[in-house]
Structure 1
Amino acid sequence: MTDKPADPLIEIRGATKRFRSAGGVHTAVRDLTMTVGRGEFVAVAGPTGCGKSTTLSLVSGLELATEGETRVRGQLVNGIPAGVGYMFQNDAILPWRTVLDNVAMGPRYRGASKAEARDRARAWVEKVGLAGFESYYPHQLSGGMRKRVALAQTLVNEPSILLMDEPFSALDVQTRALMQDELLRLWSGTGAAVIFVTHDLEEAIVLADRVVVMTCSPATVKGSFTVPLERPRHVEEIRLTTEFLEIYKEIWESLRQEVDKTRERGARRVA
């Protein structure tokens, strides 16, 4: 396990989030406390439906804590903080725009001229390996190519905080590994803090500096584990190392207990 960063960029302090629903009030996260340092890659893993995505919503300002608080750069979050990029499980690519115009949207909304936005977009399209596909439309792209567009859309704005909500979960195994490598390559050297939500522990370990394990719903932090694997990393090779297997076993023992509790709850509801 590890201590919190000395200079946290993101701080969630004793946060509880409740939502009203037809059945009453649902508590998504409870007394949640976690920090992320500048340039740190943190993966958040936990059972299905435990509240991992709510954690991202608190950082992004899309949701405010019912109790407790969230701070970015020391400032209380009461709206969307500057410098936040958000990559969702389902991409936000507009079907009537080309690859280039989809990537250029962010700079345009932030005041860049059309020419400047397209120049920046073209550079990022090339960085994500889609040079030559600038004039293609989303329906002409494979799933992996669409994810590359979504990644370029997010990174073209040079975010200092990158929030990722299971962005590669819908991809096949081989394409997913390629996108994991691509993310590490593009993130390296940017200094951006990353919170990456995933239900896949292997993915969490190969990507992150630290893995935060969440309890079953309502979620709180159960444990925080440093990943002692050197960078740069190649995800397919690193999975075969003794170091990877050792940290996997350690974290899985913590996560497995929460997964079992979630399964037991589901079985009781069905019964």
Structure 2
Amino acid sequence: MTPLVQLRQATKRFPNGRGGLHTAIRDVDLDIGAGEFVAVVGPTGCGKSTTLSLISGLQPPSAGTVTVGGDQVQGIPGGVGYMFQSDAMLPWRSVLANVAAGPVWRGLGKDEARRRARDWIARVGLDGFENYYMHQLSGGMRKRVALAQTLVNEPSILLMDEPFSALDVQTRALMQQELLRLWAGSGAAVVFVTHDLEEAIVLADRVVVMTASPARVKATFDVRLTRPREVEDLRTTTGFIEIYREIWSSLSAEVDIARKGQTRAA
């Protein structure tokens, strides 16, 4: 079967502000199937988020190809949902209005958009908070709104760029569990960028390790842990510890390379 998402020799360069070019990612090959949860890890600043930008169509590749559903990406593909590290919500709108906005922009009638929004607000555990505003919500509640805002459009591809990194440890674990619950059975492919290797393992079917900048795919690891998963319980199992050690042996070398590069630059 043709992968839902496919990158071939994907390269992205940006102006570096000094008249030259900075290569963020180079010759990236990556396949992602429908319904697959793939986590991408690598050193800080290596280009993980750039990979999401290419898949989403927000940035075109400088070289190579990116295809979604067998078609080369030229603009934002249909069926893509993007959850950023920072909230992408309008503070002057209520929870209900923020979640309903996507379906309305896609041409759905206002009443149906609000019906779907109420359904997803309830699914993420915020029933009764429809008329609240963003400043009235905790960080974890805002992330639940962001999940509803993204999933209400029923994306076939869900791109997530460190969505839980700003949360405290307990709230983060709750949101990881909530994401697994909402994703299960959806058939959506997830590409999840994170700095947290534990988070990558508890969530993903595969973990992709990127090299220090410019990022390339160094290695891919299958996470053979049964689903459904209990996030907190999983971290203490022998299987989790073994896969963590295996991936860290690959990732740590790239983290060291990046750290030494930053020291020289300083």
90, 96, 113: which one aligns with 1:94: 90
1:165 deviates by: 0.2
Partner Cα distance (2:69, 2:110) in 1: 31
**Counterpart among 138, 160, 171 of residue 175 in structure 1:** 171
1:94-113 to 2 correspondence within 5 Å? 94-113=90-109
Aligned to 2:5: 10
In the TM superposition, residue 268 of structure 1 has moved relative to its aligned partner by 1.1
Q: Deviation at 1:56?
A: 0.2
Cα distance in 1 for partners of 2:265, 2:214 equals 16
* CA drift at 1:253: 0.3
Corresponding residue for 2:16? 21
1:31 alignment partner in structure 2 = 27
In the aligned structure 2, how far is the partner of 1:148 from the partner of 1:7? 33
Task: Give the superposition deviation at 1:7.
Answer: 3.5
The match for 2:41 is: 45
Any stretches of 5+ residues in structure 1 without a counterpart? 1-5
Partner of 1:161: 157
With structure 1 as the length reference, what TM-score do the two structures score?
A: 0.97
Percent identity of equivalent pairs = 70
Q: Structure 2: any 5+ residue segments left out of the alignment?
A: none
Q: Distance in 2 between matches of 1:111 and 1:31?
A: 38
RMSD: 0.6
The C-alpha deviation readout for 1:181-214, integer Å capped at 9, x for no partner, is: 0000000000000000001000000000000000
Preserved contact between residue 45 and residue 204 of structure 1 (Cα < 8 Å): yes
Q: Is the 8 A contact 1:125 1:149 kept in 2?
A: yes
SS in 2 for 1:255: helix
Q: Do the aligned partners of 1:7 and 1:38 also contact (CA within 8 Å) in 2?
A: no
Partner-residue secondary structure (3-state), 2:218: strand
Quick one: which amino acid aligns to residue 91 of structure 2? P
CA contact (8 A) 2:5 2:32 kept: yes
SS class of match (2:22):
strand
Q: Which runs of 4+ in 1 moved over 3 A?
A: none
Structure 2 residue corresponding to 1:259, chosen from 255, 258, 261? 255
Q: Name 1:144's counterpart in structure 2.
A: 140
**How far does residue 93 in structure 1 lie from its aligned partner after superposition?**
1.1
- Equivalent position to 1:231, from 221, 227, 234: 227
Residues 120-179 of structure 1 deviation map (CA, whole Å, 9 limit, x = unaligned) = 000000000000100000000000000000000000000000000000000000000000
User: Which amino acid counterpart does residue 45 of structure 2 have in structure 1?
Assistant: G
Q: Tell me which amino acid in the other structure corresponds to 2:120.
A: W
In structure 2, C-alpha distance between the alignment counterparts of 1:268 and 1:28, rounded to whole Å: 19
CA drift of 1:21 comes to 2.4
Q: 2: CA distance between counterparts of 1:29 and 1:18?
A: 7
AA of the residue aligned to 1:268: R
TM-score of the aligned structures, taking structure 2 as reference length: 0.99
Counterpart residue identity of residue 37, structure 1: G
Query: Which AA in structure 2 matches 1:28?
Result: A
Structure 1 residue 205 and structure 2 residue 195: aligned?
no
Q: How far is 1:59 from its partner?
A: 0.3
SS in 2 for 1:8: coil
**Which residue does 1:189 correspond to in 2?**
185
Say which SS state the counterpart of residue 26 (structure 1) adopts. Answer: strand
SS in 1 for 2:4: strand
Distance, in Å, in 2 between the alignment partners of 1:266 and 1:19 is 19
